[in-house]
Structure 1
């Protein structure tokens, strides 16, 4: 595929994923498909990861205390041991449920490339959040459209791998 074709495809995906129609339909379709494919492939495949890197987050329900699984796009950080999750909720008004869960119970697990990794979530604020937000907009420009669509500040979490062996 030529560079021009790839650039065209990337622009098209950015435009579609920034649309209000996508914001209304994607939260119902993408997670269900991702969970099914992830289960069928025993954690090796996430369809949405063909566009963006992705994890399956297993957190503890803020109200229920039960395990909750959510397929999410992520931005892996350069250290190879941390990931950024964006609580964009596809530009919808409320914060996603998984972000409430991480605020209540920051210890969680992610499935990353078929491997279960224990992580601790940190809500990013202030200058640290601003720096990561700038990197995210380069990584996936539609996040700017999502933020412009809502009054709330989109939550950013850094997931840091932890050693549960000790």
Structure 2
């Protein structure tokens, strides 16, 4: 069992919003590994980072991604940093990967700078820029479909993804 599509991208790219719409369009279930991690830990991701540390979060995230990639046949959204794991990168070679590209200004508008995102706590704009620059080559390398999301409606993005999956 493999997902019909795996949606990746930085925070604010629209992975959950677009992923849900894509699943609906394809007539399949939607799953978000961030929600899986929170369910296993029994607390929000921000609290996992504070209480248990990033290393523990990444271990939970890796386990969630592995399980979802083998047990879910719908649309799967991954947490923005999950692609940093070499095992996840290798696993994604087996499935269609949709990279939602987003510019810094659009991402900041969507995420907000006062959010509870743990990696953006100190100097959020600078941290966000750094995060995007570090991860962009990984996202691009994993993608079988790349879709720009800036100033676009989710339904239009889904239209483009569906065409790319055909």
TM-score by length of structure 1 reads 0.31
**Greater strand percent: which structure?**
1
**Greater helix percent: which structure?**
2
TM-score by length of structure 2 reads 0.31
Structure number with greater CO (CA < 8 Å, separation at least 6) is 2
Structure number, greater radius of gyration: 1
